[in-house]
Structure 1
Amino acid sequence: MAEQTNVELPQDRYNPAEIEPKWQAAWDADATLYAADTHETGKPKFYCLEMLPYPSGQLHMGHVRNYAIGDALARFMWMRGYNVLHPMGWDAFGLPAENAALKNNTPPREWTLSNIAAMRKQMRRMGLSYDWSREVTTCLPDYYKWNQWLFLKMFEKGLAYRKKSKVNWCTQCATVLANEQVIDGCCWRHEDTPVEQRDLTQWFLRITKYADELLTGLDKLDGWPDKVRTMQRNWIGRSEGTLVDFVVQGGASRTEGSAGKGEKITVFTTRVDTIFGATSVQLAPEHAITKLFAAEDATLAANVEEMIAQQAKAREAGDIGAIEKHGVPTGRFAINPFNGEFVPIWVANYILADYGTGAIMSVPAHDERDFEFATKYGLPVKRVIAPASLASQDDPDAEALPLPYLAEEGAVLIESGEWTGEACLDAQPKLAALAQAGGFGSATVTYRLKDWGVSRQRYWGTPIPMVYCDCSPEEPLPLALEDLPVLLPPQVDITQQGGSPLGRVPEFVNVACPKCGQPAKRETDTMDTFVDSSWYFYRYTDAQNDQAPFDSAKANYWFPIDQYIGGVEHAILHLIYSRFWTKVMRDLGLIDNDEPAARLFTQGMVIKDGAKMSKSKGNVVSPDLMIERYGADATRMYALFAAPPDRDLEWQEEGVAGISRFLSRVYRLTTKYADISRAETSGSAAEAKLLRKLHQTIAKITQDFSGRWHFNTCIAAVMELVNEIAASEAAMDAGEISGAAVREVFRNLILMLAPFAPFFAAEMWERIGGEGVVFRTEWPVANEELARESEMEIPVQVNGKLVSVVKLAVGSDKAAVEAAAQADEKVAARIAGKTLVKLIVVPGKLVNLVVK
């Protein structure tokens, strides 16, 4: 690519470097441009929100595209008469600040706040219409105090609790990760770092209490992309089934081996109807009963350790489901409570201790995975399901069924005692009820979703407001609400590994017990940064409140968010957490809504050099450079024009230059005709044509904004209108188009450009004498009569080849179309001396003359 140079514009042409700062200063000084927290405005409300950024230091064009989409929508809705809330803030806690601090020898707080200042400056220079009086910065005490307040409220309700469990540990982050932060077995921030499993005592939020509501609530979110809702359904992973207890017996003689005897192995199955075909029970290597068996059997213990290592290796590879399946017999047996049969107990490497109950019943005749395992180790295979047409297992047709046989619709039980002949679906609730009545099981629902582990062994996060004291050895003690916030110490050594850095700060750790007043210790873990982003949009409604997280009346006025905009990569992490947090705050009486956002839009990525634009890829394009060369309006307008907002955009700087030339063209035309004072009415064909194009453009952009959000086609339509204006210059100069029509065209042209190029529109609005603020002026309304085409163009073919195009009045009948086609000079010349065999008319589409 040729070396780029700054674009020098003549003084009589649009100069964004001069005009854009002028208008930004004017907007900053005008507080009336922002939302009012009241119904008294008489306007309907519209809450427009883009996901808040992490303050990494600089925006790139990927950010600009996201924010330009939201900004165009916010400005459009203002012009449509809505009271629009459009705020911005900073997701300012988190590990990257610590890593940057280590790299740059700068305290995380200083590094973060300096980045925020730089990014805020960039956003202002882009002309983004944010209400900065509502700015939220999550690393400041006036925000994280309410993280702590909400945590304590959850603790009161039993939603925040502490337990020892197996957790995901990233060695590079040196902290715990939530299940949602483990991607293909690796850390979500470090794609090449396998996640380890460690046993730690951690704080959890009981998101599973809301699992069913989180799932059913997705059905109401018809304004969300289907892809996002499917991802959340799969993550929640609801399964209906039955818990069944298999009682452990002895060893090979049914009485040998004392370990575990009499213990219950609880399995979860979605197919309790197949339980008469269970030929083994399989345990996870880390199951509690496995440990009991291994304590008596050194060989088994060695095999179990090897399986644990295999699972760890499979996690590192990213897919535990693809593990090569291995198992070892324990030499013990368990009793199937439905038929009293003894089934062998095995330990298998593909069973996970933290999934389900950590144990399964194996039915190899009717499950592919179980069949693979049974075939490998020679375990029995017993058919207990067959098509309804087959009465028994002895039927030769039943024996001919392929194995494993998966139940089809209408399948029935065979070889299942008194249940033989029962339809599978009918038998399931009856067998579950039998287990319940017999005390050896129950119907249940399980979820893939696990409680949210929020403890992080890092410094740069919200301190957890809990205290440990000998006066309460069983449970940590909450701080009093009036003692909040627990402030994060400003200077902490974060270079040492092992444990939370806060644990090495005596003045932070040592505190008086809130219960007995004696010396006690603070919790030294901090909260997961996703806590900050789970409720920030509520704080926007009342960002300066120092008495509560927000005023409920204000939040209830604005919520739910009318349009939320952000990347699909947040479908699980952020969006499911924010839905959970909303339901908790509803149950605390803080809000009335059930869901945070009525509509969600996931924009496409900006691609450069074949990869997503990001700092980690080293392929970012700075908007500052683009603004310096072409101006902010051209930069953001290109981001909206180059592709539909839901599609990926391939970055091309030449496209920004093209938009800059287009704006310069509009500037020239508007400036030339800004002082048109003629008042005569023309009624000429040229005027009708220009006004028709204007009102067609208004109709198209209004429709695209309100429905498809295809901003690229909106801008293309404006470009077509400008082409029509340029083609009408001679007519305007000659007085063939009235001054009133010229003013109408340019006034509405500027209004339609306002959502996409606000600086430019403000300047042009002033030039033509427009009253008030351009993007608080009512959006134009298309005149359907003026927009209606008076003529139609119909292609004329001869023997299927295009020869000419004829123009006729809209609504012309078939005879008129045929006559016009044959009278056309080009057509007449082509068919001269030939015989017309057939004349085909497709109404409003084409005419084809078949000749020979």
Structure 2
Amino acid sequence: MNIFKKGSHVLLKYKPTSFVFKKYKCSLSLWDQELSTDIKLKIENYWSEEVLHYESNDNKKQSFYVLPMFPYPSGNLHMGHVRVYSISDAIARFQNLNGKRIIHPIGWDAFGLPAENAAIEHNIPPHIWTETNIKMMKNQLFQLGFNFNWDKEISTCDPQYYKWTQYIFLKLFENGLAYRDKANVNWDPIDNTVLADEQVDDNGCSWRSGAKVEKKTLTQWYIKTTKYAKKLYDGLNNENLENWKDIINLQRHWIGECNGIVVNFSIKFGHKEKSLNIWSSDPYKFIHGEFLAISSSNILLQEFSSSEINNLFCYNPITNQKISIYVTDSVNYPEGRDTYIACPSIDPEDYKLSKLLNIPYVKEVGSIDINTENEKAIAKAQNTGCGGYFVSSKLKDWLISRQRYWGTPIPIIHCPQCGIVPVPYKDLPVLLPINDSNVFKTSTLSSIKSWLNCKCPKCSGNAQRESDTMDTFVDSSWYYYRFLDHDNDKTPFDKEKLIGNTPVHCYIGGKEHAVLHLYYARFMSYFLHSEGMTPMAEPFKKLLVQGLIMGQSYKVKSSGKYIPPENVEKVGEVFTEKGTGEPVLVQWEKMSKSKYNGENPQRLLSAYGCDTTRLLILADVPPPTSRRWSDATLPGVLNWQRRLWMTIRDFINHRTNIDTTGCNGVLNKEFKELESQLWSSRNYIIATATYHFKHTQQLSVAISRLQSLTKVLRNNVPPEVIAKSKEYELALASLIIMLSPITPHFCSELWAGLLSAPGRVSCDSPSISWNNNVLQQKWPIVDKNYPLSFQCKVDGADRCELKIAATELNGITSERALEIMLKEKTVVNRVKRGILKTKYELYPNCRAILYIYTNRDLQAKQKKEEKTSRSQA
């Protein structure tokens, strides 16, 4: 481990070594002792070097990019971190055993309020606080045995990273996608910064501080994500997206149906010129529109006096003509909008509106070729650059301004003569003044005059830097590409290094990020693709959405401020804040340092070791399911590890002490029957565990299957079978290999114990390399003649299940699958009303499923999906 300096920041880096696996490393040989925490810790120390390394530089192998969302370095890890990285590490190790070249990077989402607030609270500069926390959290990640590509490590507060965030901002600015505008914004009175609408909960409180949000009018920076809305909406139909399920519905609801277009009008009054963003589901109105209605709450009206408001008009960029503006709240404005363009001469409803408002109109109600005029209006808007892109009425542009110090500086200069001037690319990065003595006299950049004052790049006159910093969502909107080219000092990344490695094969993170972060990351990827910087638009192939680890939090009822547990006392059945007596709300929420409800995994690491901690967090509950944190599952996990330990001990003893030249009392027929049972159990567990590791990522179910194989190996198996059976040995070896992605240290020792037993009888097995460590093995596959499940579901109900040998099932096409099932009476009887649609899913060496939908069921299915989508929205 080394410390490297980049710019003015320090990053703790892991320096890769030229590690080479030993062909054989002996066991600690503690089998005569009962398994204890002390033994587990000795095992973890002994095998740590092997566990933290696997070959990942073989470019001949197909890559597998597994990416967990990177953490805020706000202190010690909590169990939510342990869960997401246990999941990603298990999947990475599984894919490694399947012969893939693993890309499994980690970094730090290091800017933002959590780090800044904590630094202020402790009176430490944010960069020092952040670097200290990175070191602490990194050490814990090592203790947990997570095998990350530490040579790819990045930190968003490193100037060599945020230089390229600023570069991308300038690209957005050049394309008219980054702009400055005045708006009514959400103000967090505790964190003293602006929040996007998405960062305010249903109760009008800040997503981070919990404070009641206030409204302010400020000039802010926005990114025009709405211009890509239709592409992002349609992209959700991409057949390459795997396991997005309800996330697609969440994204669709967020974007909204893109059933209208936007055109930017301009208001000119005296020396003032303001932009007015108009949305309409009837594009023809941008050609034939006769007046604009605007709500009295529209922020632009604050710019004008009462007399000016009564004489407002604007310019239609499509027709280059003036159009009158009427202020009224009598209009049923589109959702999320406070402007409306009316065409009373064509639209009967607008005719009624003009009569209601006593607005004169030019013509009587008439008719036009709506489709032709719509297409003409869209084309004109796009050709003139004033809009014309499809978007929903409710979707807003991305507000990125934050009035805080600890963030990526926006690379803009404000000049009295030249106006808004972008910082030249050659002058990037615009560095934060981390060594300025005034940094901690304020939490903003606006009062640090030595940094704020500068020269205009155009006229060389006196100017000022933009004092707002970017929302941290900007930093995390493109980091998945930087990991693949982390030390590039010429561009954000080389497109060639993305080819074959993207989209990210498996992206893992909390469901709470499945709307905002995912939407912003998708937008950024689409934009970068439009610039020719990436080979594809969609950034992530498969999503694994992780449920929350919930901890108990305490919040002052009156202010919404979170307080630590030690500041709370219980009086009768009421919780109050110590010292003030203020009522306190007690609830289960996502673990977070800012909510003082996180648990330091160090307790579990010290008491049980890292493998038990990883097993504990993954067992019983599938990754997508939330759980309230407790130690309730510990006894089952500890007992299973003890049984595995005893199994290896017994295996060694029986192989050492029993005469393996005969059956010693076990009849030949019984021996063959037991071997057949072991063969069947081994293949069944391999098929189901593989299915859940590879396809569903239901790791808890896979673990349950491995527990059942342990039961088979321990329940009433005669010593003679343990001593002589090839099938017992293969089943035990397969069990250890399949458990190794979850508990790599423990399984390394179990494997070494297996190898230490004399008289192995399955040395000729082509699937196992007996001279290598368990982490160098191949993932087991079912025997070719093992019968796998081939199911048919008609209208969602199970109608038939066949058993077909693995080698045959793997070659069945969708056409052949339908042909086979239409020979089964239980299927034929259910499809008499006709087949409307089929879907065939083949999971090689695991199972196959044919879905058949009839006319009647498809309609019911669509209605159900629509209802589910509405309820989730």
Q: TM-score, normalised by structure 1?
A: 0.69
Kindly provide the amino acid, as one letter, of the partner of residue 475 in structure 1: I
Q: Which amino acid aligns with 1:605?
A: L
Could you tell me which residue of structure 2 aligns to residue 773 of structure 1? 773
Give the aligned partner of residue 465 of structure 1. Answer: 411
**Judging changes above 3 Å, is the alpha-carbon distance between structure 1 residues 378 and 481 closer, same or farther for their aligned structure 2 residues?**
closer
Q: Supply the distance in 1 between the matched residues of 2:422 and 2:313 (Cα, whole angstroms).
A: 45
Check conservation: 1:17, 1:628, Cα contact below 8 A. Answer: no
* Among candidates 246, 252, 263, match of residue 227 of structure 1: 246
3-state SS, counterpart of residue 557 of structure 1:
coil
Show CA shifts across 1:300-328 (max 9, x none). Answer: x9xxxxxxxxxxxxxxxxxxxxxxxxxxx
Report the secondary structure of 2:638's partner residue: helix
Give the Cα separation in 2 of the matches to 1:161 and 1:712: 47
Structure 2 residue aligned with 1:35? 56
Q: Does 1:546 align with 2:489?
A: yes
- C-alpha contact (below 8 Å) 1:107/1:491 kept by paired residues: no
Matched, 1:606 2:549: yes
Alignment pair present for 1:620 and 2:598:
yes
Structure 2 counterpart of 1:754, from 740, 750, 757: 740
Per the TM alignment, residue 267 of structure 1 is displaced from its structure 2 partner at its CA by: 6.8
Q: Deviations over 1:546-590 (max 9, x none)?
A: 343233322223111001011121123211111122123223333
1:460 maps to amino acid? W
Match of 1:573 in 2: 516
The aligned residue for residue 132 of structure 1 is 150
For the pair 1:560 / 2:503, whether they are aligned, the reply is: yes
Which residue of structure 2 lines up, in the alignment, with residue 456 of structure 1? Answer: 402
Higher mean displacement: 771-780 or 559-568: 771-780
Provide the residue aligned with 1:818 in structure 2. none
After TM superposition, the structure 1 = structure 2 runs for residues 289-688 of structure 1, keeping only pairs within 5 Å, are 295-296=306-307, 347-348=328-329, 355-356=336-337, 358-359=339-340, 419=367, 446-447=390-391, 448-469=394-415, 472-481=417-426, 483-484=428-429, 486-491=431-436, 493=438, 501-517=444-460, 519-608=462-551, 611-615=588-592, 616-674=594-652, 676=655, 678=660, 683-688=671-676
- Write the deviation string for residues 217-275 of structure 1: whole angstroms up to 9, x where unpaired: 121163252432223223333443489999x9xxxxxxxxx99xxx9999754369999
Residue 686 of structure 2: aligned partner: 698
**Deviation (angstroms), 1:181:** 2.7
The offset of 1:90, in angstroms, is 1.0
Does the residue aligned with 1:41 lie in a helix, a strand or coil? Answer: coil
CA distance in 2, matches of 1:655, 1:535: 38
CA contact (8 A) 1:513 1:520 kept: yes
Call closer, same or farther: CA 1:187–1:265 in 2, change over 3 Å: closer
Residue number in structure 2 paired with 1:14: 35
Do the aligned residues in 2 keep the contact of 1:136 with 1:540 (CA within 8 Å)?
yes
Distance (whole Å) between structure 1 residues aligned to residue 351 and residue 214 of structure 2: 28
Q: Contact 2:407–2:472 (CA<8 Å) still a contact in 1? A: yes
Deviations 1:467-505 (A, max 9, x none): 3445x52331423425535244234545656xx732333
Asked if the contact 2:163/2:429 (under 8 Å) is kept, the reply is yes
Equivalent residue runs for 1:38-187 within 5 Å: 41-184=59-202, 185-187=204-206
Deviation at residue 32 of structure 1 after TM alignment: 5.7
Q: CA deviation at 1:517?
A: 4.8
Q: Which amino acid aligns with 1:451?
A: D
Number of the residue aligned with 2:713: 725
Structure 1, unaligned runs of 5 or more: 1-8, 249-257, 302-329, 335-341, 381-414, 790-852
In structure 2, the partner of 1:812 is none
1:284 to 295, 305, 309: 295
Unaligned runs of 5+ in 2: 1-29, 315-322, 381-385, 553-586, 756-769, 790-873
2:296–2:329 CA contact under 8 A, matched in 1 = yes
Which moved further from structure 2: 235-244 or 175-184?
235-244
Structure 2 SS opposite 1:534 = coil
CA distance in 2, matches of 1:18, 1:226: 43
Report the counterpart of residue 281 of structure 2 in structure 1: 270
Question: Aligned partners of 1:136 and 1:427: how far apart in 2?
Answer: 53
| Identity within the alignment, % | 32
Deviations 1:485-541 (A, max 9, x none): 5244234545656xx732333432344444455554333222211111111111211
Question: How many angstroms does 1:778 deviate by?
Answer: 0.1
Provide the C-alpha distance between the structure 2 equivalents of 1:766 and 1:103, rounded to a whole number of angstroms: 50
Cα offset, 1:83, TM superposition: 1.0
- Report the residue type matching 1:772 in the other structure: N
Shift of 1:106: 1.6
- Quickly say closer, same or farther: Cα 1:589–1:767, change in 2 above 3 A: same
* Map of 1:218 onto structure 2: 236
| Aligned-partner residue type, residue 89 of structure 1 | G
The 5 Å alignment of 1:706-721 reads 706-721=694-709
Q: 1:518 to 1:27 in 2, by over 3 A?
A: farther
**Matches of 2:34 and 2:264, distance apart in 1:** 82
> 1:464 and 1:76, CA in 2 relative to 1: closer, same or farther beyond 3 A?
same
CA–CA separation in structure 2 for the residues paired with 1:523 and 1:547: 25
Give the Cα–Cα distance (whole angstroms) in 2 for the partners of residues 177 and 279 of structure 1: 37
Deviations 1:128-155 (A, max 9, x none): 2212121111112222222223223333
Inter-CA distance 361–122: structure 2 relative to 1 (3 Å threshold): same
Contact preservation (8 Å) 2:284, 2:377? no
- State the Cα deviation string for residues 64-104 of structure 1 (Å, max 9, x = none): 22222222111111111111111111101001222112211
| Length-normalised TM-score, structure 2 | 0.68
Alpha-carbon RMSD: 4.9
Judging changes above 3 Å, is the alpha-carbon distance between structure 1 residues 351 and 264 closer, same or farther for their aligned structure 2 residues?
A: farther
- Aligned pair 1:191/2:210, yes or no? yes
For 2:17, the equivalent position in structure 1 comes to none
Please give the secondary structure, in 2, of the residue aligned with 1:612.
Answer: strand
Amino acid at match of 2:295: A
Correspondent of 1:764 among 725, 750, 766: 750
CA distance in 2, matches of 1:331, 1:513: 38
Amino acid corresponding to residue 586 of structure 1 in structure 2: H
Aligned residues: 685
| Distance in 2 of aligned mates of 1:670 and 1:29 | 21
**Preserved contact between residue 111 and residue 407 of structure 2 (Cα < 8 Å):** yes
| Rounded Cα–Cα distance in structure 2 between residues aligned with 1:434 and 1:209 | 16
CA contact (8 A) 1:692 1:787 kept: no
For the residue of structure 1 that corresponds to 2:111, the secondary structure is coil
Determine helix, strand or coil for the equivalent of 1:598: strand
Measure, in 2, the Cα distance between the counterparts of 1:669 and 1:522: 68
Q: Give the Cα–Cα distance (whole angstroms) in 2 for the partners of residues 518 and 264 of structure 1.
A: 28
Mapped to 2, the partners of 1:534 and 1:243 lie a distance apart of 25
Q: Are the counterparts in 1 of residues 418 and 458 from structure 2 also a CA contact under 8 Å?
A: no
2:283–2:377 contact (8 Å) kept in structure 1: no
Amino acid at match of 1:521: Q
Inter-CA distance 355–777: structure 2 relative to 1 (3 Å threshold): same
| Cα separation, 2, equivalents of 1:739 and 1:145 | 62
Aligned partner of 1:407 in structure 2 is none
